[in-house]
Structure 1
Amino acid sequence: MAPKLSPKPIRFRFPDSDLEKLQRQLDDTLLPEEELVEDAGWKYGTDLSKLKQLVEDWKRGDAVDAFGKNTGPGGGVSAWWRKVEERINRYPHYIAEIEGVQVHYQVARSPETDAIPLIFSHGWPGSFFEADLLLDKLTRPDVSGRSFHVVVPSLIGYGLSGKPPKQGWSLEDTARLFDKLMTEVLGFQTYAAHGGDWGYTITRLLARYDACTAYHTNFLVPNIPTYALPVMGLAKMGYSSITDRLLPYIFDARDVNLLKRGLEYMSVGSGYYQIQATKPATVGYALYDSPVGILSYLLEKFREWSDRRAPAFQPAGQGEQSSGMTDENILISATIYYLTKSTHTSFLPYYESGYLFDKFAKDRTFTAPARKKPFGHSRFPWELAGSPKPWIGRLDVNLKSLKEHDYGGHFAALDNPNALSSDLREFFTAHF
């Protein structure tokens, strides 16, 4: 299929004036001298000492990761960020206009002629950068399976993609543009799809299109059966001790862990969802031009939803060395939100697309186009919530592969890129 739309090549690069402003704002940062309450730690939200450490690293351009390696030149924000841009631009970036909406995407191509076109959809508080540690792995030929042409777009309202053009723009609209990106812009006749968080939703939506022939996720929103609601309700009402005793009689240890993670998320971790799903502008405008505000807001999510053994959350020199959840990568994520001025619009899927969870759970007509297509799933222990194995069939998917891992969390592509890249290669080699 010949491409119908011509993209514009770009460099992912920001003006000196933007970086100079960021430096001034970081230099002028004023944070509390003492914690919210004594020994607050992470219990009340973002840990003040960790936030202060990251702000100091950020403004010095001296991001020292948890292994003691100096990852920045120490010349301030500008010198550090120019090094980051070199890393980000090692694979080309483009802007395409689809249905009048600007779509930013990165393409990492394999030299192999039979490489599989794979679209990677990120979520919140992620960005296209979430896939960074997968690109070198998946584009290189491997004796264990085929390689990939990896396409990583920024969701509409994120990064350099345009904001939603109207009220009511949902992830269904974004998925439609992404299908056109793969077929009409890039000219692929067929493609594979992967995603987590909101990228899970987009991936399931892409699977409804003919050109998407197989799909994979590292997140599954559980469709809770009626018989399980009393048990879930007991935990939500504070009777978690009863739930803790009951669940091991029903599920294996990995399923119990995912359910308990989900219950914890609902009780103490989902307040942001209610805010962003009801009044996204209020907090969005407050964070729009506040680099430390953005970092504080995102940092808590990166910590809560990632494996606690990650380098960013362990003493210097410790932590899982294969993990990309490092101080520097967290700062890169926050800087992308700040420089692209997309924090407020990144909240819109919560307001406009929450209905999709019910459609996937209850509308068999809606899920029918993907019903027979191969589906693969990778599970990580620090996922914020998940579906027990006996419930996966309720999601109307044709599950062909379920991989369990002992390390990793919600941001699997950063937290455990080795495992996720291996799973993707194995699954799509067998089923694309």
Structure 2
Amino acid sequence: MATLKPIRFEFPDATLERLARRLDDAHLPDTPIVPDAGWKYGTELGKLKQILADWKSGAPARSDGSHAEGGGVQKWWKGVEKRINRHPHFLVEIEGISVHYQIAKSKDPDAVPLIFSHGWPGSFFEADLILDRLSAQSDKGTSFHVVVPSLPGYGLSGPPPRQGWTLQDTARVFDTLMTEVLGYKSYAAQGGDWGYAVTRFLANHPGCKAYHTNFIVPNPPMYASAIIAAEKVGAKGLAARTMPWLFSDFETGLVKRGLDYLDQGFGYYSIQSTKPASLGYGMHDSPVAVLSWFLDKFQGWSDPGAPAFAPKSKADSSSGINDENLLINVTLYWLSGTIHTSFLPYKEMGGLMYQLGTDRKLTAPARDKPYGHSGFPYELAGSPKAWIPRCGLNLVFYRTHEKGGHFAALDNPEALADDVRDFFTESFPRA
């Protein structure tokens, strides 16, 4: 059996000192790329300058409007490490990869093992706001032993051992973690973004008995594909005129956001899936480059009420998309030196992500297992409920929410945690 190595989540002082120097040496333009650019041309310069200044001072804003106490980036990060170390961390070697995971164990003797798989540009830290909610004993249903691994090439996990490593391979490693390393005879799985793919592949394994996602790659029927194709070649407005006849307001919003994403938000995907090293090596050197790249994604894929981007008078304090949490995620990427390897799934997955929606054979072992889905209105590309079974899924739980986006575990942690608890309480098979 693989040997577990307990670790503390922390980085050397010398690495933190280098980060501080790089932030002090940052050189940004004096004016936006064009007048009144806002977010239309990518990351808004004023926001970038503001959050960079708060990073340097160690005083980023939180959801309630308060700020970290300051004292510089090194002092702030030491406090972050203390926060993250409230639940233990481990390393274990599986198939030649040093796999990092965090675990929040419940005191409930009947707790269900749950593996949470993150995506990009997220990290294991995405689960931070739901760990305590899900591991706590509850009179409302199931509690969980929450296992949160870092994907290979992300955070404290080592890089994939070879070219061609897909998230199907990652799921195999994560199943080994749950069944052979941790010894769970059965477990539940949850994920979004790349974690959606990992979760669907985990469901192919016998140990995974039920699974839930907050993201799904749409598999539109022929009529919808024809409308989308016509929209792409110039029939602007066709989808907008047609969708209200076909879908609810919530579903119409999801489809519109998906079309906008394909039209204006897909460039990063093309770059990261073709030449990940060219972009990745430069970002490996520059923490400000990582920050700028990530700000664009979090702003575009989150609820507009997220405190990091909304005016103070309209900010939703229940959202964890705040300046501090964004900077924790960015800092984790830069300190661990994994921004370039985090691009690898884009290169290696090819069309596999889309095959999850169309190739029933790919996920045939999971066909009859209970599947739950939570829909959030500012998801970057969601799916109407009627399309979900087309992906070969046994949909037994479906719930939508009035707020939240792509990073649901941060953007609306209470709703996601409640959905996870409700779904698995109803649908996780007990021996």
Work out whether the TM-score is over 0.5.
yes
Q: Is the 8 A contact 1:66 1:317 kept in 2?
A: no
User: Quick one: which of 54, 59, 64 aligns to 2:56?
Assistant: 59
Pairing 1:368-407 to 2, within 5 Å after superposition: 368-407=364-403
Bigger drift between 231-240 and 367-376 goes to: 231-240
- Which residue matches 1:36? 33
- Which residue matches 1:237? 233
Residue 66 of structure 1 deviates from its aligned partner by 5.3
> In 1, Cα distance between the equivalents of 2:181 and 2:33?
51
SS at match of 2:237: helix
Residue 123, structure 1, aligned to residue 136, structure 2: no
SS at match of 1:288: helix
> In 2, Cα distance between the equivalents of 1:61 and 1:336?
15
> In 1, Cα distance between the equivalents of 2:221 and 2:313?
45
TM-score, L = length of structure 2 = 0.98
Residue 388 of structure 1 deviates from its aligned partner by 1.1
Q: Write the deviation string for residues 389-410 of structure 1: whole angstroms up to 9, x where unpaired.
A: 1111110000010010000000
Q: Is the 8 A contact 1:67 1:317 kept in 2?
A: no
> In 1, Cα distance between the equivalents of 2:364 and 2:158?
31
How many equivalent pairs are there?
A: 428
After TM superposition, which residue ranges in structure 1, 4 or more long, deviate above 3 angstroms? none
Residue 150 of structure 1 deviates from its aligned partner by 0.1
Q: Write the deviation string for residues 258-314 of structure 1: whole angstroms up to 9, x where unpaired.
A: 100000000000000001111111101110120000000001100100001111112
Residue 233 of structure 1 deviates from its aligned partner by 1.5
SS at match of 1:85: helix
SS at match of 2:324: helix
- Which residue matches 2:357? 361
Pairing 1:257-272 to 2, within 5 Å after superposition: 257-272=253-268
SS at match of 1:313: coil
5+ residue gaps, structure 2, are: none
Residue 23 of structure 1 deviates from its aligned partner by 0.5
Residue 237 of structure 1 deviates from its aligned partner by 2.7
Pairing 1:214-233 to 2, within 5 Å after superposition: 214-233=210-229
> In 1, Cα distance between the equivalents of 2:237 and 2:94?
52
Q: Is the 8 A contact 1:65 1:316 kept in 2?
A: no
Q: Write the deviation string for residues 188-226 of structure 1: whole angstroms up to 9, x where unpaired.
A: 000000000000000000000000000000001001222
User: Quick one: which of 24, 44, 68 aligns to 1:27?
Assistant: 24
Bigger drift between 58-67 and 407-416 goes to: 58-67
Residue 317 of structure 1 deviates from its aligned partner by 5.8
Q: Is the 8 A contact 2:63 2:316 kept in 1?
A: no
5+ residue gaps, structure 1, are: none
* Paired amino acid for 2:195: G
User: Quick one: which of 196, 202, 205 aligns to 2:201?
Assistant: 205
- Which residue matches 1:91? 87
> In 1, Cα distance between the equivalents of 2:354 and 2:30?
45
* Paired amino acid for 2:240: D
Cα-Cα RMSD: 1.0
TM-score, L = length of structure 1 = 0.97
Pairing 1:25-424 to 2, within 5 Å after superposition: 25-65=22-62, 67-71=64-68, 73-316=69-312, 318-424=314-420
Q: Is the 8 A contact 1:373 1:398 kept in 2?
A: yes
Residue 122 of structure 1 deviates from its aligned partner by 0.2
SS at match of 1:209: coil
